C-alpha cells in the first residue's frame, strides 16, 4: 500500500516545517579565525569597487590572518629574548622593524 501524501513546503521552497538548520559562518567554512562577514561588509561599505567577488573577502581574511600570525610570532620571540612572558608594544616594534 502506497502512502503518497502531500509534502508540506516551507518558506522559499524549503521542505518540511521542522526547525531551521543552524547557520554556519563563512569564517568557519573557510577554517579561519578572522571574520569574513565583517571584511565583506567593510569592503562593500568602503566602495572600493562596484561589485565584489565571493572569494575576495575570504582571501583577504586569510591573508590578514597569516600576517597577524607572523607578526605575533616574531613579537613573541622578541618578548622571550627580553625574558618577558607578555608582549608589549616595544616587542611589536622590534618584530616589525627587524
pLDDT digits over 15-48, tens only?
A: 666 788 899 999 999 999 999 999 999 999 999 9
pTM for this structure?
Answer: 0.76
pLDDT digits (tens, 9 = 90+) for 43-85: 999 999 999 999 999 999 999 999 999 999 999 999 999 999 9
Domains with residue ranges and CATH for the chain: 26-97 (1.10.20.10)
- Residue 20 pLDDT: 83
pLDDT of 9 > 60? The answer is no
- Residue 88 pLDDT: 98
Q: Which residues contact 25 (CB under 8 A, 6 or more apart)?
A: 35, 36, 37
| Unique residue bearing C-alpha cell 561589485 | 51
Residue 3: what are its φ and ψ, rounded to 5°? -120, 95
Amino acid at each position: 500500500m502506497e502512502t503518497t501524501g502531500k509534502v508540506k513546503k516551507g518558506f522559499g521552497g524549503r521542505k518540511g516545517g521542522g526547525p531551521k538548520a543552524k547557520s554556519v559562518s563563512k569564517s568557519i567554512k573557510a577554517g579561519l579565525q578572522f571574520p569574513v562577514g565583517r571584511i565583506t561588509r567593510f569592503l562593500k561599505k568602503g566602495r572600493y569597487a562596484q561589485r565584489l567577488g565571493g572569494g575576495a573577502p575570504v582571501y583577504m581574511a586569510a591573508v590578514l590572518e597569516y600576517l597577524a600570525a607572523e607578526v605575533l610570532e616574531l613579537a613573541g620571540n622578541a618578548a622571550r629574548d627580553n625574558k618577558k612572558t607578555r608582549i608589549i608594544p616595544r616587542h611589536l616594534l622590534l618584530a616589525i622593524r627587524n
